[in-house]
Chain A
C-alpha cells in the first residue's frame, strides 16, 4: 500500500525516468542495429572473418557491465565524458552487437540453399538476392536478435544509473544508498515491468514483420 502511494506521489518522476530509460536504450540499440545488421550480412561472405567477429562479440558480452563501465570511465575521461550517458550508450552499443550480428549472420546463412539456387537460376544479381529473398526471410530472426539486445540492455541501463546515466536505475541506487525500501522496490518493479512489456511489444512487432507466407513456418520453428 505504502509502495503504491509512493509510486503515485512520484508518478511524474517515474514517468520521466522511464522515458529516459527507453530513450537511452532505444537510441543505443537503434545505432547498434544500424551497425550490427550490415556487419552480420558482410561476414556471411567470409567464414573465417565471421568466426573472429562473432568470437570478439561473444567476449565483449561476457564482460560484466559494471566492469566495462569501470574500464571505460578512465578512457572516456580523456575526452571529458567519463560518466553520464556516453559510456552507458557505448556499453549498450557494444553489448547489442553479439545478438544482432549473430542472428543476422545465422539467418542469412540458413536461408535454404534451394531458394538461393532458384534465385540465382532465375537471374537475380547478388544484391537482388539479398534484397528480395535473403533479407526478407531473415527479418524475423534479426528482429529476435534486436529483441534480445533490448531486453538485455534495459538491465544494463539500470546499472548505468551508478555512473550517472539516469533512468529507472536511479530509484534503485538511491533506494540502496538512502536505505529507502520504497524507492528500491518501486525502481526494481518498474524496471522489471519495463523489460517484460518491451519484450512482449517487440515480440508482437517481430510477428508483424514476418513475411506473410512464412507465418506457419515461423510458428513451427
Chain B
C-alpha cells in the first residue's frame, strides 16, 4: 500500500515559487496499479519522484505499507522501492547480470544468491539467461533493454514499484507486447505500483485506478470505468476526449455481456428447419451453422432459407468473424463495423460456440452505467434540494 498525505513540492525558480504538487493525498491499495495521468507539467512525475525522494518533498508524508517513510534513510528507502524510468538508464559499463543484480549487490547479498536471482528474473521477463546475462546493454534492442530495466527494479522483490513512463520510448507495437507481458507478470507478483503516463489509452489498459493531475493538483482519482463514466469536470472530460464512451469498450470483456442463448443449425438440417429456427429465435437476417464439435462453420441467411429447398451444408456463407470470451468490446465493435453486422458468435478456448454478442447488448451495457450515474446524480440533486 502507498499512501500520500498532503504531499507538496514548491520549486524556487528565478521567476518565483512554483507549486509543482499541491497537497496531494491519495492511497493505492496493495497489489494495484495506479496510473498518474495528465498533461506535461501537471505534477504527476514530481509526485511520483517524491515517493523515493528523487525530488525532495517540501512538506507532507509518504506511507508505505502503513509505515511513515519520513524518518527512513534515503538509500534504504530507495533500495526497497523498484524504480523504472523512461530513459531506462541501464549502466552501459555493466553487463546485464551486473545491471539486474545492482540492488541485491548494494544490499550485500552473497554471490550465489544474487546470481540465482538473476536467472529467476530473466525467466520472469522471458529472456534466455545464458544468451543475455553476459552481454552489455548496448547490444540489446530498446524493448529488451526496457525488460531488463523492469527486471532490475524487481530484483530485490520490493513490495512497491514506481514507474515513470516506463514504456514511453518504445515503438507502439513492442509497447503493446511489453504492456501485456507486464500485466501478466503483475498478476503473479501483486506489486503495489505507481505508474506515470501521459497516454490515456495506456492508463486505461494498465491502471486499476487512475489519478488525473492538473497544474499540481489531483483532480480526480477513480477506477477507469468510473472515470470514463463520470468525469468530474470539464478539464477531465476534455482530457479523456470526446470518444471516452468508446474507450470504455476497452474495459469490458465479451465474457461479461455474452448471451448464452444462441440458435444454430447443423450442416445436416434442412433449410426449412433453418427458417423455422430463425423465426423462433426472432433473428432478422441469418442463423449460425455449427459443425459436430460446435465450432462455427457458416451462416445460413433468411432469404436463402425462405426461397430455396435443400440442406444447410449446401447453402451457407462463410462466417465473417467470431470473438473469444476474453476479447474486449473494442475488438467486437470493430469487427461489427468492419463486416457490417450486428451480432457475432462467441467461442471458448477450444473454439466452440458458447453464445453470441449483439450490438444492442453492447449499447445497453454501456448505457446502464450512464443511466445509473444519472439516476444517482438525480437523487443527489433531489437530496440537495430538500
List chain A positions with a Cβ less than 8 A from chain B: 112, 114-115, 117-125, 128, 132-133, 136-137, 211-214, 216-217
> Residues of B contacting A112 with CB < 8 Å?
87, 89
Cross-chain contact B52 with A121 (CB below 8 angstroms): yes
Cross-chain contact B79 with A123 (CB below 8 angstroms): yes
> Do A217 and B138 contact each other (CB < 8 Å), given the known contacts A117-B54, A124-B75?
yes
18 inter-chain pairs at a CB distance below 8 angstroms, sorted by A residue, are: A112-B87, A114-B88, A117-B85, A117-B89, A118-B88, A121-B78, A121-B85, A122-B79, A122-B153, A123-B77, A123-B106, A132-B94, A132-B102, A133-B91, A211-B93, A213-B93, A217-B92, A217-B138
> Residues of A contacting B139 with CB < 8 Å?
213
> Residues of B contacting A212 with CB < 8 Å?
93, 95, 136
> Residues of B contacting A216 with CB < 8 Å?
138
The complex places the Cα of A121 from the Cα of B86 at a distance, in Å, of 13
Q: In chain B, what residue has the closest Cβ to A211?
A: B93
Cross-chain contact B54 with A120 (CB below 8 angstroms): yes
The complex places the Cα of A136 from the Cα of B92 at a distance, in Å, of 10
B355 to chain A, nearest CB (A): 48
7 nearest A-B residue pairs (beta carbon):
A118-B89, A213-B136, A114-B87, A123-B78, A211-B93, A123-B79, A121-B83
> Residues of A contacting B44 with CB < 8 Å?
none
Fill in one digit per residue for B69-110: 1 if any A CB lies within 8 Å of its CB, else 0. 000001111111001010111111111000000110010000
> Do A128 and B106 contact each other (CB < 8 Å), given the known contacts A118-B91, A121-B78, A214-B92?
yes
Cross-chain contact A118 with B85 (CB below 8 angstroms): yes
- Most interface-central of A122, A125, A128, A211 (chain B CB within 10 A): A122
Cross-chain contact A137 with B83 (CB below 8 angstroms): no
B152 at the interface (CB under 8 A from A): yes
A134 to chain B, nearest CB (A): 10
Cross-chain contact A122 with B102 (CB below 8 angstroms): yes
Cross-chain contact A121 with B54 (CB below 8 angstroms): yes
> Residues of B contacting A133 with CB < 8 Å?
91, 93
B137 at the interface (CB under 8 A from A): yes
> Residues of B contacting A115 with CB < 8 Å?
89, 91-92
B92 partner, pick from A119, A122, A125, A137, beta carbons under 8 A = A137
B43 to chain A, nearest CB (A): 18
The complex places the Cα of A114 from the Cα of B139 at a distance, in Å, of 19
A30 to chain B, nearest CB (A): 24
Cross-chain contact B93 with A137 (CB below 8 angstroms): yes
The complex places the Cα of A145 from the Cα of B88 at a distance, in Å, of 30
> Residues of A contacting B78 with CB < 8 Å?
120-123
Cross-chain contact A114 with B136 (CB below 8 angstroms): no
B106 partner, pick from A114, A122, A137, A217, beta carbons under 8 A = A122
B195 to chain A, nearest CB (A): 15
B196 to chain A, nearest CB (A): 13
Cross-chain contact B83 with A118 (CB below 8 angstroms): yes
The complex places the Cα of A133 from the Cα of B88 at a distance, in Å, of 15
The complex places the Cα of A124 from the Cα of B88 at a distance, in Å, of 16
> Do A119 and B85 contact each other (CB < 8 Å), given the known contacts A124-B106, A213-B137?
no
